[in-house]
Chains A and B, each alone.
Chain A
Amino acid sequence: MIGIVIVSHSRKLAEGVLELAAQMTRGAVPMEAVGGIDDVENPIGTDPMQVLAAIESVAARADAGVLVVMDLGSALMSAETALDFLADDVKARVRLCAAPLVEGTVAAAVQAASGADLAQASAEAATAIEVKIRQLAPVTGEEAAASAQAQQEAAPQDALRLEIVIANTLGLHARPAANLVATAGKFRSEIRLAKGEASASAKSINQVALLSVRHGDTVVFTVSGPDAAEAVAALRALAADRFGERDEDVALAPTADAAASGKPADANVFSGTPASAGYAVGPAWVLRAKLPEIVRRGSDDPEAQIRELDQAIAAARAEIEAIKRETERISGKASAAIFAVHDLILADAALRDAAVARISGEKVKAAYAWSQTVEETAAAYGALDDAYMRARAADVRDCGGRVLRILLGAAAPALRQEREAIVVARDLAPSDVAGLDAKLTLGIVTEAGGATSHAAILARALGIPAVIGAPGCLGRIADGQVIALDGFTGTVWAAPQQSVRQDIAARRASWLEARHEASARGAAPAVTRDGVAVPVFCNIGSPAEAAVALAAGAEGVGLFRTEFLFQERDAAPGEEEQYAAYVAAASAMQGRPVVIRTLDVGGDKPIRYLETAKEDNPFLGERGVRFCLARPELFRTQLRALLRAAAVADIRIMYPMVSDVAELVGVLALQRQEHDALAAAGLAVPGAVKTGIMIEVPAAVAVADKLAALCDFFSIGTNDLTQYVMAADRGNAAVAPLCNSLNPAVLRMIAMTCRAGEAAGIPVAMCGELAGEALAAPLLLGLGLKELSMAGTAVAGVKDAIRATDGEACRALADKALAADSAAAVRELLRAGNPAA
């Protein structure tokens, strides 16, 4: 192996460059840095004797010779001077390299590590600056000197030639380039690839990419060495296979035709699913354009770090596969193709191996090793002169970042939004969403996903306009670029003209005004004409939504779903994490009551790390509180977090899917045990925590009187109650019409529940979808409901409906509805009672 001596006027610089190069080579390459002179006050300078000593020292360890890389001026002279003092046999193995110090040293070190000789390493180093020049060319307007010519070497006489016309649509880029380098690397022969005057080593991905070989170009391979004939045969076969180019590679590339014939006005307009109403215009904030910064941390157990990395890569690939499938289902194969590329990148053993080598060589943690490796790879892509190839840098960072987030788990640095922007992302993971600031997020645009994706649901809950599933828009949207979106039609303008901007801005203003008016109406309490105040609450799914609920005028949270804490991760959240989330939601509600429902999952909504048995009929299986009772540790952890949170805020506990008395008794006993244990351990717990149950199983309605004696409140979940009462799956189109909450059978169950509650003296609330229907509000009050909980967007309308009615009218309406023959008849009654509807 060759060694490297780094010479600079500045010792700090020399040592810094050494550090940089060593980072790339993990100590494999003998290197020494010399710089500065022995003068504390004026340390800048070079000393030929020090250079001499460094060369001799490295030469002793590097059998293939020493490459000397220098900064400028006297460094060159000192290095030359040092040569004069070297013994002839050593001198013959020393080469001074004209490459720029930093770029050249790094390039040379990498070459050295891969076994290059002095000439190869020196040539690679000398061209290292071109990558930089090309990368900056769009900014500086400079072109790299045609120094590819300079490195062109006369082909030896005995070299074999192979001339090929490139048939690949993409030219020698991406996978084809990688395949070429991999194939060439298998042979000992020197393999050069020439296009016109310029030539490159076919073993260097950098050089091959820099050659910019395009479709239709004629290239000439010159192969010289012991296995030249075999190499030529392999190259010929590879070329015949279009260098392994596959259709999905081509599908990703912007086709020249589209660029040429497409109407320029349309190229910047994208359409997706109108996932959340509203308008927005403003600068784009492109998520995951950068990797999070990882602090370098050491690890004494490389084996464990490597295992963690492999697991994280596997988990990331599983995530990608899931997103790919969902995207394919919603938006088709073409939109999902990008995720195939992400998978390809993560499947690349070279990427993984480079990170693993770092872990072992530098004794660092997997996250650091991985982030460095991914960033290097992305930077290499980013430096290429081809727009298509440069775009791949973002993909490397995107899927690399996914692995990083998995590696870091809860320690992953959250996204920090600093200014008003339209968030643009390939897709939004719940963890990303948690970092968004609803106040600063003007809108959301994603390439993947549909109306039911996490981003869409969240955007609606937060009242943020969103267009989800607009494929291709990321390629046209740079960070900070002003874009516009219409969440009513699902349109995104990547480069809106002044007229579009003004139009969308005006629409946004009137939309905001209307919303503001509605929220003003929402803020006032809902009191019926005869003076009965009806608490109107909100349903939320994350602490972030609490603020939205408050803004909408909610007087509390009637249902806080805790599933979000458990989804999209690899292990259940701990007690502290849960405690923090519950307290956060409660504090966002500023002292108003928050009803928190314990984990409500089952075979119909599985969580990957929680074992769920395969059930023939998951809706009739182990779900809700049944699921938790069967997993006491999971359940106890949540209960402890809830009980502790209830000590610092008005938090109430609610159990889902309770179906009989014994079950509730068992649940309450568990809660009591944890309560007592916490108190015994000296932790703050309230004297009593208001505890209630969801009424969503017909059996619970039947024994509501008994259940009411055991708890503090009921809350009716109309969605599940309706499908259980009607024995109709609302997801099954054939029976969906039966599954209507207004069906008199369902209404009678609601009335029964309310009577039981009244008899026991406990309030009955409703947190199902029906509660958010303004038209149904008088009916629900008439049936005996005391509180209604709904999505934030429904608050104002429902409050208006409550204000417009009175107790007598409500009861009369309820009587008629209970006696009606069908859901349709009930709806007619509701309409008749509200002429405006």
Chain B
Amino acid sequence: MPLSKAQLLAWLGKLDAVYAAKKEYLTDLDAAIGDADHGINMNRGFGKVMEKLPPVADKDIGTILKTVGMTLMSSVGGASGPLYGTFWMKPGMLLGGKEELDAADFARFVEAGVDGILQRGRPERGDKTMYDVWAPVLEVVKARAAAGDDVAAIVDAALPVGEKALADTIPLQARKGRASYLGERSVGHQDPGATSSYYMLETLRDVLHA
């Protein structure tokens, strides 16, 4: 089954609820190693997305994705603004005219998004960033799509990989962003950006299984 536009909109709506619910948690994670605003930023960003979506809800998926990207870019505030902004916008530019995403489209979606993160933040694996989650997830997504899985199966396969990758950020020392100023003191904390990225995957799984 491909990912429908309705599912996409449901995913975004659910993400808004998730980030509202996880606002304190994400902010606490960020407080340990950063500037204590990631939860606030994500909540604000997706709140704004909800405001901007209705006029474009009946447009093509590309337009929706670009709108999400632009909105996040301008409203998130922290580094995750440009990062997530690019993550959503790049696929949006690629997937113009689409009303649904099949497995190949979905793989292109994730690949373009992760590409955007790479281009924007120039992270490397092990820098203790959201890329530490997305890099292994992208590998699984591409492999499963190539193997012929549908979107739900792909996400099911990617989720545990993402979950492990998320846990793996705990012992890492931050080398990017404001957390990097903490040096060794960033060790022992789960990365908030990686966490919010994992929620995207987890929420998508929930939507696809609903």
Q: Which residues of A contact B (CB under 8 A)?
A: 37-39, 42, 44-50, 72-74, 77-78, 80-81
Point out the residue from B70, B75, B121 that lies within 8 Å of A77, measured CB to CB.
Answer: B121
Minimum Cβ distance to chain B for residue A101 (Å) = 14
Q: Is B85's beta carbon under 8 Å from chain A?
A: yes
Tell me the nearest residue of chain A to B34, going by C-beta: A73
Known: A42-B40, A42-B44, A44-B37. A49 touches B73 (CB 8 A): yes
* CB neighbours of A74 from chain B (8 A): 77-82, 177
* CB neighbours of B85 from chain A (8 A): 48, 81
* CB neighbours of A46 from chain B (8 A): 77-78, 81
Tell me the nearest residue of chain B to A74, going by C-beta: B79
Within the assembled complex, what's the spacing in Å between the Cα atoms of A44 and B34?
13
Within the assembled complex, what's the spacing in Å between the Cα atoms of A77 and B83?
8
Within the assembled complex, what's the spacing in Å between the Cα atoms of A80 and B76?
16
Please provide the chain B residues from 28 to 86 with a CB less than 8 Å away from any CB of chain A in the complex: 35, 37, 40-41, 44, 70, 73-83, 85-86
Known: A48-B73, A81-B73. A73 touches B44 (CB 8 A): no
Tell me the nearest residue of chain B to A78, going by C-beta: B82
Question: Contact: B120 with A80, CB < 8 Å?
Answer: yes
Minimum Cβ distance to chain A for residue B117 (Å) = 10
Say whether chain B's binding surface is mostly helix, strand, loop, or mixed. Answer: helix
Within the assembled complex, what's the spacing in Å between the Cα atoms of A526 and B81?
90
Interface string of B82-97 (1 = CB under 8 A from A): 1101100000000000
Q: Is B178's beta carbon under 8 Å from chain A?
A: yes
Within the assembled complex, what's the spacing in Å between the Cα atoms of A78 and B177?
13
Question: Contact: A39 with B77, CB < 8 Å?
Answer: yes
Within the assembled complex, what's the spacing in Å between the Cα atoms of A86 and B62?
21
User: How many B residues touch the partner, as a band?
Assistant: 20 to 34
Question: Contact: A72 with B77, CB < 8 Å?
Answer: no
Known: A39-B44, A48-B73. A81 touches B82 (CB 8 A): yes
Known: A42-B40, A44-B35, A72-B178. A81 touches B86 (CB 8 A): yes
13 contacts between A and B (CB under 8 A): A38-B75, A44-B35, A45-B37, A45-B41, A48-B73, A48-B81, A49-B70, A74-B77, A74-B78, A77-B81, A77-B121, A81-B82, A81-B120
Between A38, A49, A78, the greatest number of chain B beta carbons within 10 A of the residue's beta carbon is seen for A78
Question: Contact: B74 with A73, CB < 8 Å?
Answer: no
Within the assembled complex, what's the spacing in Å between the Cα atoms of A45 and B178?
12
Known: A42-B40, A44-B37, A48-B85. A73 touches B77 (CB 8 A): no
* CB neighbours of A47 from chain B (8 A): 73-75, 77, 81
Minimum Cβ distance to chain B for residue A41 (Å) = 8
Within the assembled complex, what's the spacing in Å between the Cα atoms of A456 and B157?
92
Interface string of B12-26 (1 = CB under 8 A from A): 000000000000000
Tell me the nearest residue of chain B to A36, going by C-beta: B77
Question: Contact: B178 with A37, CB < 8 Å?
Answer: no
Minimum Cβ distance to chain A for residue B76 (Å) = 7
* CB neighbours of A38 from chain B (8 A): 75
Tell me the nearest residue of chain B to A81, going by C-beta: B82
* CB neighbours of B40 from chain A (8 A): 42
Minimum Cβ distance to chain B for residue A349 (Å) = 45
Say whether chain A's binding surface is mostly helix, strand, loop, or mixed. Answer: loop
Question: Contact: A45 with B76, CB < 8 Å?
Answer: yes
Tell me the nearest residue of chain B to A42, going by C-beta: B40
Please provide the chain B residues from 171 to 186 with a CB less than 8 Å away from any CB of chain A in the complex: 177-178
Within the assembled complex, what's the spacing in Å between the Cα atoms of A42 and B27?
12
9 closest A-B pairs by CB: A45-B77, A74-B79, A77-B82, A37-B77, A81-B82, A49-B74, A74-B78, A73-B178, A47-B74
Within the assembled complex, what's the spacing in Å between the Cα atoms of A78 and B79?
8
Minimum Cβ distance to chain A for residue B79 (Å) = 4
* CB neighbours of A78 from chain B (8 A): 81-82
Question: Contact: A42 with B86, CB < 8 Å?
Answer: no
Minimum Cβ distance to chain A for residue B168 (Å) = 23
Within the assembled complex, what's the spacing in Å between the Cα atoms of A38 and B82?
16
* CB neighbours of A77 from chain B (8 A): 79, 81-83, 120-121
Minimum Cβ distance to chain B for residue A445 (Å) = 47
Excluding A73-B178, A77-B81, A80-B82, 20 further A-B contacts by CB distance (< 8 Å) are: A37-B77, A42-B37, A42-B44, A44-B35, A44-B77, A45-B41, A45-B76, A45-B78, A45-B81, A46-B81, A47-B73, A47-B75, A49-B74, A50-B74, A74-B79, A74-B81, A74-B177, A77-B120, A77-B121, A81-B82
Within the assembled complex, what's the spacing in Å between the Cα atoms of A46 and B78?
6
* CB neighbours of A50 from chain B (8 A): 74
Question: Contact: B120 with A73, CB < 8 Å?
Answer: no
Minimum Cβ distance to chain B for residue A753 (Å) = 86
* CB neighbours of A73 from chain B (8 A): 78-79, 177-178
* CB neighbours of B77 from chain A (8 A): 37, 39, 42, 44-47, 74
Tell me the nearest residue of chain A to B77, going by C-beta: A45
* CB neighbours of A81 from chain B (8 A): 73, 82, 85-86, 120
* CB neighbours of B44 from chain A (8 A): 39, 42
* CB neighbours of A72 from chain B (8 A): 178
Minimum Cβ distance to chain A for residue B135 (Å) = 19
* CB neighbours of B86 from chain A (8 A): 81
Within the assembled complex, what's the spacing in Å between the Cα atoms of A39 and B74?
11
Within the assembled complex, what's the spacing in Å between the Cα atoms of A48 and B72?
10
Interface string of B104-139 (1 = CB under 8 A from A): 000000000000000011000000000000000000
* CB neighbours of B83 from chain A (8 A): 77
Within the assembled complex, what's the spacing in Å between the Cα atoms of A727 and B78?
91
Tell me the nearest residue of chain A to B43, going by C-beta: A42
Minimum Cβ distance to chain B for residue A45 (Å) = 2
Known: A74-B79, A74-B81, A78-B82. A48 touches B74 (CB 8 A): yes
* CB neighbours of B178 from chain A (8 A): 72-73
Minimum Cβ distance to chain B for residue A37 (Å) = 4
Within the assembled complex, what's the spacing in Å between the Cα atoms of A634 and B207?
96
Minimum Cβ distance to chain A for residue B71 (Å) = 10
Minimum Cβ distance to chain A for residue B48 (Å) = 9
Known: A73-B177, A81-B120. A48 touches B82 (CB 8 A): yes
Within the assembled complex, what's the spacing in Å between the Cα atoms of A72 and B85?
18
Question: Contact: B75 with A37, CB < 8 Å?
Answer: yes
Minimum Cβ distance to chain B for residue A207 (Å) = 29
Within the assembled complex, what's the spacing in Å between the Cα atoms of A73 and B37?
13
Please provide the chain B residues from 148 to 198 with a CB less than 8 Å away from any CB of chain A in the complex: 177-178
* CB neighbours of A42 from chain B (8 A): 37, 40-41, 44, 77
Between B40, B44, B79, B178, the greatest number of chain A beta carbons within 10 A of the residue's beta carbon is seen for B79
Tell me the nearest residue of chain B to A49, going by C-beta: B74
Within the assembled complex, what's the spacing in Å between the Cα atoms of A77 and B130?
15
Minimum Cβ distance to chain A for residue B194 (Å) = 16
Within the assembled complex, what's the spacing in Å between the Cα atoms of A42 and B78?
11
Within the assembled complex, what's the spacing in Å between the Cα atoms of A49 and B89?
14
* CB neighbours of B78 from chain A (8 A): 45-46, 73-74
Tell me the nearest residue of chain B to A45, going by C-beta: B77
Between A48, A49, A74, the greatest number of chain B beta carbons within 10 A of the residue's beta carbon is seen for A74
Minimum Cβ distance to chain B for residue A75 (Å) = 9
Within the assembled complex, what's the spacing in Å between the Cα atoms of A37 and B83?
16
Within the assembled complex, what's the spacing in Å between the Cα atoms of A186 and B74?
47
* CB neighbours of B121 from chain A (8 A): 77
Within the assembled complex, what's the spacing in Å between the Cα atoms of A39 and B120?
24
Minimum Cβ distance to chain A for residue B24 (Å) = 14
Within the assembled complex, what's the spacing in Å between the Cα atoms of A50 and B81?
13
* CB neighbours of A39 from chain B (8 A): 44, 75, 77
Minimum Cβ distance to chain A for residue B119 (Å) = 9
Tell me the nearest residue of chain B to A43, going by C-beta: B77
Within the assembled complex, what's the spacing in Å between the Cα atoms of A571 and B152?
92
Minimum Cβ distance to chain A for residue B176 (Å) = 9
* CB neighbours of A37 from chain B (8 A): 74-75, 77
Within the assembled complex, what's the spacing in Å between the Cα atoms of A80 and B82?
9
Tell me the nearest residue of chain B to A50, going by C-beta: B74
* CB neighbours of A45 from chain B (8 A): 37, 41, 76-78, 81
Minimum Cβ distance to chain A for residue B115 (Å) = 13
Minimum Cβ distance to chain B for residue A59 (Å) = 20
Within the assembled complex, what's the spacing in Å between the Cα atoms of A37 and B40?
12
Tell me the nearest residue of chain B to A47, going by C-beta: B74
